[in-house]
Structure 1
Amino acid sequence: MDAVSHLHSMRALILAPHGRDAAVAADLLRAVGIAAEICPDLPALLRELERGAGFALITDEAFRTADLNDLSRWLADQPPWSDFAFVLLTQRGGGVERNPTLARLTEILGNVTFLERPFHAGTLVSVARTALRGRERQYEARARLEEMHTAEKRLTAALDQAKRAAEHQTLLIGELNHRVKNTLATVQSIVMQTLRTNVTPEAAKEAIQMRLLALSRAHDVLTRESWEGADLVEVVTRALEPYETVNENRLHIAGPHVRLTPRMSLALAMALHELATNAVKYGALSNKVGIVEVSWTVQSGLAPPRLSLRWAESGGPPMKAPSRRGFGSRLIERSLAQDLDGQVKIAFEPTGVVCTVDAPVA
């Protein structure tokens, strides 16, 4: 509380519209260091009460015919810590037991002390100091309540933060379990299908190792992004990185930056690996002049936007459609389409393999 606020909060408000009671009381209080403010009427008193005060010194005739509804409402609206004190100056011999009006004022004002006139200066000062000490204790109670309220808010915030942290941890554990299960299922599928389609243990071993390395590279991209997704440019670049040859420009990649979900990133990375592996064995990358072009566009005017990706080989040996689809083709056409919630087509053109992907981008 600053100096001005403290001065207002500990001052005496005086309402004594008749005679010299107001001036005399103000002089007596100021003489002992108590700030005093004289109010000309009841509305002025209410305005000053809003600004703050320690107690009010009022003559009973000021309330005798006045409308006290506004004052009563102000008292009823006091905060829990406040019990504002009134010192009511009465006429000699006009005690509460003989004066019904004073009894009514007691009910309205609540915390009221009656002081008969003419009063002794020492008595007035003593009553004023008692009222101010009571008001000071009320301010102390207010400060403690504010401290308790602040501490309660801090505790509530800490508990909320701890609750959110616990919920987030539970979510992360669930997500981790889900990803581990998905990864194990993917590995199991890779191993089973590879063993089924490779006739020699050496070929199966090599195929499994290559596919697991491709899966690992895709995981690396997602791990750097905290598994919140990955950029398509990086997914394509990392998937085709093992197939680049020094001083050759046979892998052409072109397309805008597109944010993919973790599921789409893994599916595309595995599909690109299968396409690149096939190109190395039978297609454009099996000689020294073939080219692979990977390009994509995004139709942003749709809701959701759609990704159109195309893998196209050229310059390799003449291509003809195989008599049966291997694991790689099935992985691309079935699994990729399912993971992307879109359409995937593979065509064995004479110039090389062409794979097109059309899928929504969430």
Structure 2
Amino acid sequence: MKNTVQALPIADAAVLDVPDRLPALGNATPEFFGPDADFDGIVTLAAGFVSAPVSVVSLFADQDQCFLARLGTSEIRAPLKRSFNASLMAHGGDALLVSDAGADPRFSDIETLGGAPDLLSYAGAPIMIDGRPVGSVFVGDVAARPDWPEDLLQRLEQLASLAASLIKLKEETRRRTLAAEAISRDEKRHALALDAANVASWLWDISTGLISGNDTFYRMFGVQPARPLSARKFFMTVHGADRKLAIGRLRRALASGKEYDGLFRTAKSGRWLLGRGRVHERDANGKPTVFLGINVDVTDAQIATDRTRLLLRELNHRVKNTLAMLQSLARQTLRQTSDPAAFMDAFAGRLQSLSEAHGLLSDHEWGVIRLKMLLEKQIAPYAIDFDQQVEIHKDEVQLGPDQAVGLGLVLHELATNARKYGAFSVPSGKVVITARVVAEEGQGVLNMTWHEMGGPPVAPASRRGFGSVLIERSLDKILGSSVHVEYLPQGVTAVIRLPL
């Protein structure tokens, strides 16, 4: 400890420019928020040592000294330059005692607290953090004090050490609080993101056997109320058909340490869930203690996948049937003509008919299509003016794949014949189509008629060919169906019966 004889003149100290002074203060307390009641006990103890009228715990800022606690003054801030604390800083880590500033010319221009009272005596100890003085605990009097106790500076140093510890503790608490708030914000943001994405998250405490999760988890598995549940009850929420496989995969993940990956249905709703998870914590022996998992509802994707598989099977079936039909059409067409050009013309038209029917079915995912759509696709290319030459009276009829393909071929043959020889060969010709659904023994049956009028007179003998045979046999695959064609002089009439 040193006294006033060893104090440096303030004008020569350059104490405000000491390197690392402000960084040390910033590491300890990055912001000064004013007086802090936690330091009031320190100034009370310091003043009580010598019955001093003024006692202060201060921090040294850039140009000012800021008072964390004070007795005997209302100021909370004072200039640091030309102050006792500036001289204290010049001492580095030593305390300072001034008995009578008025009798020492080195302190003649000192500004003590920036206002009343002006101190003549001073005793202070630096608050040291990271080896740098960042503040002080000091007492003062407006009168000279030649009788300062010998152990005063030692006691002030103890209080300064206490203040330094308190500052560090408060800063550590502040940083931990900020970190905890940041974690809390991240957790809330994470929870909101999971909820928005409809992701269930859960944690299995293997030591207690309890599983807890977020709100989405309880909602997804149909568990109410939302509280921890036993692992056994959790596994019972998995659909019985998928439970054994799901539990087996989870056990293998626990045993191997690899990630769990499973797809299963819930027992309550039957919705498909994708599960992912892994061991999150282990004990000292490497035994799993905590397992963390998530689930995502993939019902829509699973339905789409199943539908795709169904469509692929249906498409495979249709391709085989179509190839068989094409082979039959090619053979029958060749039997009717040996002229390659005539063969290509007849075969290409029938191939186009199949393509149109397949295109419609494909657009509707091989489900059902409306009769009106099929009529327009198969007939419109052959009519001179579809709207003027085709009159349709029908019920609302939906056709399955076999019905659409077979009926499409019939309509194609009727339309091409009408174009070559019948109602569509002249602008005045017309085709009237009537399609009604009747119930026979609980099953819907389509009764449809095709009647041509206004075209050239019909000669039956000259019209009989493969086209006529194809018309009558295109629906052979559909049980109970039939096509009967009459070559009446006024125009071709076809009667079609098609179970739906």
Identify the TM-score tier after normalising by the shorter chain: 0.5 to 0.7
Determine which structure has more spread, i.e. the larger CA radius of gyration: 2
Query: Alpha-carbon deviation of 1:263?
Result: 0.2
In structure 2, how many angstroms separate the alpha carbons of the residues matched to 1:351 and 1:334? Answer: 24
Match of 2:103 in 1: none
State the distance in 2 between where 1:313 and 1:145 align.
75
- What is the CA deviation profile of residues 296-350 of structure 1, one whole-angstrom value per residue up to 9, with x for unaligned ones? 1111475102211000001111112126832211112123244363221000001
- Matched AA of 1:150: F
Deviation at 1:222, TM superposition (A): 0.5
| 8 Å Cα contact 1:283/1:319 also seen in 2 | yes
Aligned residues: 225
| Distance in 1 of aligned mates of 2:458 and 2:407 | 23
1:275 to 397, 414, 418: 414
What secondary structure does 1:322 align onto? helix
The answer to whether the aligner puts 1:159 opposite 2:298 as a matched pair is no
Structure with greater helix share of residues:
1
Report how far residue 170 of structure 1 moved.
Answer: 5.9
State which of 457, 475, 490 in structure 2 corresponds to 1:336: 475
TM value normalised by structure 1: 0.55
Does the CA contact (< 8 Å) of 1:305 and 1:360 recur in 2? yes
* 1:305 aligned residue: 444
What do the CA deviations read for 1:228-252 (whole angstroms, capped 9, x no partner)?
A: 1211111111111212335861111
Mapped contact 1:264–1:340 kept (Cα < 8 A): no
Q: Distance in 2 between matches of 1:195 and 1:214?
A: 18
Bigger relative contact order, structure 1 or 2, given CA contacts below 8 A and separation 6+? 1
Partners of 1:249 and 1:164 lie apart in 2 by 45
Aligned partners of 1:239, 1:169: CA distance in 2, in Å? 28
Taking the TM superposition and a 5 Å limit, the aligned residue runs for 1:6-85 are none
Distance 1:152 1:274, change over 3 A: same
Q: Does the Cα contact within 8 Å between 1:320 and 1:350 map onto a contact in 2? A: yes
| Partner residue of 1:190 out of 315, 329, 333 | 329
The answer (yes or no) to whether the contact 1:312–1:355 under 8 Å persists in 2 is yes
Asked whether the equivalents of residues 478 and 499 of structure 2 are also in contact (C-alpha less than 8 Å), the reply is no
Residue 191 to residue 255, structure 1, CA distance change in 2 (3 Å): same
Where does 1:350-361 land on structure 2 (aligned, <5 Å)?
350-361=489-500
Gaps of 5+ in 2: 1-204, 212-227, 244-262, 266-271, 275-301
Inter-partner Cα distance in structure 2 for 1:246 and 1:298: 28
1:202 equivalent among 341, 352, 361: 341
1:314 aligns with 2:424: no
Q: Report Cα offsets for 1:13-61 as digits up to 9, x if no partner.
A: xxxxxxxxxxxxxxxxxxxxxxxxxxxxxxxxxxxxxxxxxxxxxxxxx
Question: If each structure's strand is expressed as a fraction of its own residues, which one has the higher value?
Answer: 2
For the residue of structure 1 that corresponds to 2:493, the secondary structure is: strand
Structure 1 residue ranges without an equivalent (≥5)? 1-136
Q: TM-score, normalised by structure 2?
A: 0.41
Per the alignment, do residues 306 and 178 of structure 1 end up closer, same or farther by CA in structure 2, a change over 3 Å counting? same
Q: Aligned AA for 2:234?
A: T
Partners of 2:422 and 2:465 in 1: how far apart? 15
Question: RMSD value over aligned CA atoms?
Answer: 3.2
Q: Give the 3-state SS of the residue equivalent to 1:358 in structure 2.
A: strand
Equivalent-residue separation in structure 2 for 1:296 and 1:248 (angstroms):
18
The 2-side partners of 1:340 and 1:287 are apart by: 37
- Percent of counterpart pairs with the same letter? 37
The 1-side partners of 2:428 and 2:401 are apart by 34
